[in-house]
Chains A and B, each alone.
Chain A
């Protein structure tokens, strides 16, 4: 099977810091891949390069065989890669439904209308349907500024899902969520994402989450891939235990 995402010898340096060191990776359709690694290991740089925010110094990134390494975030999004953020990137003065409505507008191939109401029925329905999937329909008309951090996180993911992406990148979907709620939150995310995003890559620091939800783990260290494979095998790898998970954890 052809991979959805194919990365070859990707390199990125920030001065003396090597954020990506000849990274090569294939992600097949339907996989739930977790990227793990200590802070500064290169996970977010990888996500930023795949989504077009950062341009690699060298190497290639292909989505369904099409080179996307030099494209802008807008073009990458239109081609089928969406992302959510570690710190939710929302329009905080707008309501949750309006945030989703902006995202729905972005899916249209036409220029934004200057007379069609922003929350025309089709857009509003789509926004509410997505919020319902995350159990947030009753929050639709509340401004983001009034919503709690965990709810913002879910709205952020819902916005990434509007495009029905081929590949969904989630940057620490449970960061800021308490230990008691992290599984419930992740269950909700996985359930909500399932109909639209067949392939998910999520950056995660919590190994319990990784163990439970990933069917493949890629461990980063100093811009390199330290280990790649089944979660149980990767998490038992001595080098991963030494450099990523902290041995005893």
Chain B
């Protein structure tokens, strides 16, 4: 679908501006923005997958795989570099996605969603029982560095993590934008609408779903690495179903039409959560629920439909005569 999305170069400039903007942000918002960017990354993966018509309720599986993978490597070999940790997390998530993807791509709809949820809970159960990985308490990791520089000033450390997460998520967003416009992106939408017809056209619908699944797993693994770096602690909660639910929450808020919407939705969620937690500490979940209800009622296709819908209106022809009359083809 052609909706006049911004050119990748413009998006690179936006990412650079967002990164530099971190210098002007108060310290407390840096960690909030880092969490929002990290959540946006995994939610972006869910959106990539949702374009094939499948929703994963168990992205916590890859989130935890990325987080635990990074934590184990960091503690075993002392790798503390934030970029290296992000890459390790992405690789761990991606490898697990490569194993599971081809098997799970045969399913669709609610079966697909419940299988992903079940697998994440299997991992959760295994982690809770694993004393070598700290059981339900998990374990700690050291402070991340960047290209050999260790940040002792907390504000500088927060900014470094903010910058790496914003740049990574921004680059993932640009990659997703290119993907959405690509041959595979269009085929993904076709699979969502009619996978049997896709097969009749000589395209493997399962392969399309698998590729999108692995991309989502890579994003989730990298996101898990950022969550680990931000908390410097990991535990089985990373794989728990409520964690996965939060990411689906962001994806539902965003809709599947716009990459930018994922970032807006993630930031909006973090802001609503932070402020409702601050002012309504006992009922903040209620506020979140009402917020989601409002989006579903008034923007059923997500926040992204705010600007995507307007663009569609612009490309519609002014006169919509019945085509049968125009072409001499009867209804």
Contacts and interface: CB of A to CB of B under 8 A. Distances in A.
Contacts of B190: 91, 94, 99, 102
Contacts of A151: 323-324, 327, 329
Interface stretch (A6-14, A172-180, A227-235): A172-180
B182 to A, nearest CB: 5
Nearest to B188: A112
Task: Tell me whether chain A's interface is mostly helix, strand or loop, or mixed.
Answer: loop
Given A94-B1, A112-B184, A148-B323, A107 B330 contact: no
B30 to A, nearest CB: 33
Interface residues of B, number: 40
B208 interface: yes
Interface in A7-31: none
Interface residues of A, number: 59
The 9 closest A-B pairs by CB, nearest first: A150-B329, A178-B330, A118-B186, A106-B201, A106-B202, A181-B330, A148-B323, A89-B197, A112-B184
B50 to A, nearest CB: 14
Contacts, number: 147
A149 B323 CA distance: 9
Contact of A98 (B1, B324, B328): B1
26 contacts: A53-B196, A74-B204, A77-B201, A77-B202, A93-B189, A94-B190, A105-B183, A105-B186, A106-B202, A112-B187, A114-B185, A117-B181, A118-B186, A119-B2, A120-B183, A141-B315, A142-B323, A148-B323, A148-B324, A148-B327, A148-B329, A150-B323, A151-B324, A163-B202, A178-B331, A185-B330
Contact of A102 (B187, B316, B324): B187
Given A106-B203, A148-B323, A150-B331, A91 B194 contact: yes
Given A105-B203, A146-B320, A151-B324, A114 B331 contact: no
Contact of A181 (B197, B211, B328): B328
Interface in B154-209: 178-179, 181-187, 189-190, 193-194, 196-204, 207-208
A227 B262 CA distance: 61
Contacts of A35: none
Given A150-B324, A178-B331, A51 B186 contact: no
Interface string B288-331: 00000000000000000000000000011100101110111111
A193 interface: no
A115 B178 CA distance: 6
Interface of B: 1-2, 178-179, 181-187, 189-190, 193-194, 196-204, 207-208, 211, 315-317, 320, 322-324, 326-331
Given A89-B197, A103-B201, A106-B203, A112 B208 contact: yes
Interface centre among B183, B186, B322 (most CB of A within 10 A): B183
Contacts of B322: 148
Contacts of A120: 183
Contacts of B184: 112-114
